[in-house]
Chains A and B, each alone.
Chain A
């Protein structure tokens, strides 16, 4: 099957959703998304980092240096309270949008 290009703006939502499970570094976030989507989405991995840092600037995420199991330094991102609030707001917006889109695409014909 063709790789789906990630629809603009949804990467942020994926990251936020992923981080609701707990603090993770960038690579772990990617792996989690790959696992859940069974690698159906092709994400340009480099794009992850500007997104992370931008959300850090907005105060949705907080970066902190930590050490991995393999004893290497990695930057872990944690969802802040503001980030959590922003995510739930965007999520409900997203759900309403996809529902509406689904209704349009599944329509059988004009009724009027």
Chain B
């Protein structure tokens, strides 16, 4: 049975009760015995004898009563909570609109936050998988301004010989893909050259076998290869006897010595191989060829600053020794983490900031909803308080309601987060380690901490406020608001804060939308339609001379041109959009590479049909011809940008210039400018057009070339025929990186577009929430003012005037929020600078447009409830009180 009224528990009273009960027994017995004729003293003794050890009994009974009390108290507390939960659930069910809005807003905020947090956790916070990640550094040489270059063999060799701060210095070098034959069709495999020390610096225990030994890392050693885990799994079917197996790569047999750890992925792709760097000693004095990525493993306890200053000092020394070779005097030594994560930090932090803003807006909104709800429920709360519910019980009741909302939002938010993580991982963000990101325990904890934290923050304030009401006043008012002004002010502050945050968010989205549109409208400088790009690598083992390579490339070009449906074929070193060519200085006649007027340029090759095939205009002069042969006069075509930088407005045709082109005596040769081409985007869309120069393919032969192929029919359908045509020249050759130009452009735009979409989505969520917030405040004011409005209308006030009065209040909130938001954005958007293109961080158009948008939202959100106010029947409004 449930006791309705019980005196509060006290240990003293419990003891007294036990005492009374036992005394009653003894006295009853004594009276009984006296009545039977015993003397008082005998009766007393007899009763005590029959009773036994009274002190013992008393202690035992008290013990039992105490535990009874404890159990009952616990049960009642559980009952209270159950009651609170049941009651809260009933209350929430009674106002489904409020519940759904609150839970969905919370779920969106918590979900988006957890998803982004998963990414930040997996990409930024989780340490790299290498054994001594915190001691690994990367080293670059200055290339002027903010650009950094790879390391020359000579610099690397002298650092290695003289440094003392590092356990080891290791190096890798890019290599064209090697073509794997004998395992299925000939396939190009992404390849790096790595020194034995590289594996010691950037080390994880191999999955199978070992990494390179010093003996293997020497010219003339038995050719060895280390394969990536993914390569072993996919290409070699996880062959358990892989160590010792021979692979035919570019016609050379190489023995697999090990399989790298599955975690061993510095840069994509996952399927790749490493061959020894095996630098010939002759290279150790080469201070011009920037080819090496250098990794250092600091000695234990050695601060990175020491390593940095030591390498800097060594490099200044080298630069002093080789003044004429153009050796860089600046070096950059940074931690591996900074190297890998650095470029994406701005993006990830922007996303994190954006979702944090959304979560703040969410919390403000739910707090707003709860304050409004507490106002509506003043009557109910006052009655409960009058019936004797304590302040603590009422606050607990309201808190349970908030907690339920928070938890429901949290649970739903985890669903949103799981979907969000899947979306982010499958996105084209080229963020390292993104592929490994998944929801984990930390993220779940984060989501629940957020949801309960939010619930307490937005639940406690209105709960305490609602429970502290002046009871008599409230009951006398019939539950109507009598302190409306205070309440309105705090809600107004919340809405202004919300609008301010929304302004910041939408401006960020606006800037990204503007830059995405600008990027889209950038002209690539050539015709992109129906254009196929593919690379072909010629194995050095079989194509040993420049002549053999150039001949093969020309024959391939001729064969592909003959394919029906192919309209034009051109060849270059690296196709536009697909990345930079060789980075060399270019200087005009009479100067040299160290001349202040020398221009850092992007050097590529072009065959006679390249410019016509790709559809880039030749503004002056001529294209190359088949007469521009290896031994012939050295000629060059410059792009507009380089022509302007080197020759100003003068006609450059027939003038001479120098670059990293050498004659038979290894001395730089002068190149005659024979043409000026239009500017083409070289490396994606967002990067400025570099100064470019093109030299004839026979005068700049490489082991890899790119073909641009334009079709008269959809060019992707020609691919089988193109492969056949290539096979007629050499059946062991493979086409690599096959893609249409439109797809390649799409890929370079994917990241900015994705960022834009994500921020637009968050901005839209912010806008909707702000709309709900403003709407809530204004419709609350309208409800509170029903009587006043009724009187005004009864007195003949202008309906439009009343509407305007209410809308004006909403607009005032809007203007305050926007002013604050714009001020914050002026500072905050500076952090966005690296992510936007073509607009400044304070783009007035975006700021103005977003301000107008938010004003419109505030106006709309106030107009809807304002219209309702003017439909009030004055009689009903007056009678309602």
Contacts and interface: CB of A to CB of B under 8 A. Distances in A.
Interface of A: 25-27, 44-47, 49-50, 53-54, 56-57, 62, 65, 72-75, 80
What are the 8 tightest A-B residue pairs by CB atom distance, in nearest-first order? A46-B52, A46-B57, A57-B68, A53-B64, A27-B28, A44-B52, A50-B60, A46-B51
Contacts of B17: 65, 75
Interface in B13-33: 17-18, 20-22, 24-25, 28-29
B50 A49 contact: no
Given A27-B29, A54-B64, A62-B1, A49 B21 contact: yes
Contacts of A27: 24-25, 28-29
B376 interface: no
A50 B57 contact: yes
Interface in B27-82: 28-29, 50-54, 56-57, 60-61, 64-65, 67-68, 71
Contact of B24 (A44, A47, A73): A73
Residue in B21, B22, B50 whose Cβ sees the most chain A Cβ within 10 Å: B21
B56 to A, nearest CB: 7
Contact of B64 (A57, A74, A75): A57
Given A46-B51, A49-B57, A54-B64, 6 more contacts: A26-B25, A44-B51, A45-B50, A45-B52, A46-B52, A46-B57
A50 B58 CA distance: 8
Nearest to B52: A46
Nearest to B47: A45
A18 B71 CA distance: 27
12 contacts: A25-B24, A27-B24, A27-B25, A27-B29, A46-B53, A49-B21, A49-B61, A50-B64, A53-B65, A56-B64, A62-B1, A75-B24
Contacts of B56: 46
A80 B25 contact: no
Q: Give the most central of A47, A53, A54, A74: most B CB within 10 Å.
A: A53
Contacts of B67: 57
Nearest to B27: A72
Nearest to A81: B1
A53 B24 contact: no
B11 to A, nearest CB: 15
Interface of B: 1, 17-18, 20-22, 24-25, 28-29, 50-54, 56-57, 60-61, 64-65, 67-68, 71
Given A27-B28, A73-B20, A53 B52 contact: no
Contacts of B24: 25-27, 72-75
A56 B1 CA distance: 12
Nearest to A56: B68
Contacts of A46: 51-54, 56-57
Which of A27, A46, A74, A80 gathers the greatest number of chain B CB atoms within 10 Å? A46
Interface centre among A26, A50, A62, A73 (most CB of B within 10 A): A50
A44 to B, nearest CB: 5
Contacts of A49: 18, 21-22, 25, 57, 60-61
B20 A45 contact: no
Nearest to A50: B60
Contact of B25 (A45, A57, A62, A65): A45
B61 A53 contact: yes
- Point out which of A25, A45, A72 has the most chain B C-beta atoms below 10 A from its C-beta: A45
B15 to A, nearest CB: 13
A74 B57 CA distance: 17
Contact of A26 (B21, B52, B54, B71): B21
Contacts of B29: 27, 45
Contacts of A45: 25, 29, 50-52
Contacts of B18: 49
A25 B8 CA distance: 24
A27 B60 CA distance: 18
A112 to B, nearest CB: 48
Contacts of A56: 64, 68
Contacts of A57: 64-65, 67-68, 71
Contacts of A62: 1
A78 B746 CA distance: 85
Contacts of B22: 49
A42 B781 CA distance: 81
Of the listed residues B25, B52, B67, the one surrounded by the most CB atoms of chain A closer than 10 A to its CB is B25
Contacts of B20: 73, 75
A47 B61 CA distance: 10
A8 B79 CA distance: 36
A75 B61 CA distance: 14
B68 A53 contact: yes
A53 B21 CA distance: 11
A57 B53 CA distance: 22
A26 B24 CA distance: 9
A25 B851 CA distance: 82
A27 B61 CA distance: 16
Given A45-B52, A62-B1, A72-B24, A50 B61 contact: yes
A25 B51 CA distance: 15
A77 to B, nearest CB: 10
B376 to A, nearest CB: 42
A62 B1 CA distance: 9
Contacts of B1: 62, 80
Nearest to A75: B21
B62 to A, nearest CB: 9
Contacts of A65: 17
Contact of A74 (B21, B50, B52): B21
A1 B409 CA distance: 77
B79 to A, nearest CB: 15
A27 B24 CA distance: 8
Contacts of A26: 21, 24-25
A50 B1 CA distance: 22
Nearest to A59: B1
Nearest to A80: B1
B71 to A, nearest CB: 7
B403 to A, nearest CB: 32
Nearest to B72: A57
Nearest to A74: B24
A46 to B, nearest CB: 4
A73 B65 CA distance: 19
A50 B62 CA distance: 9
A25 B24 CA distance: 9
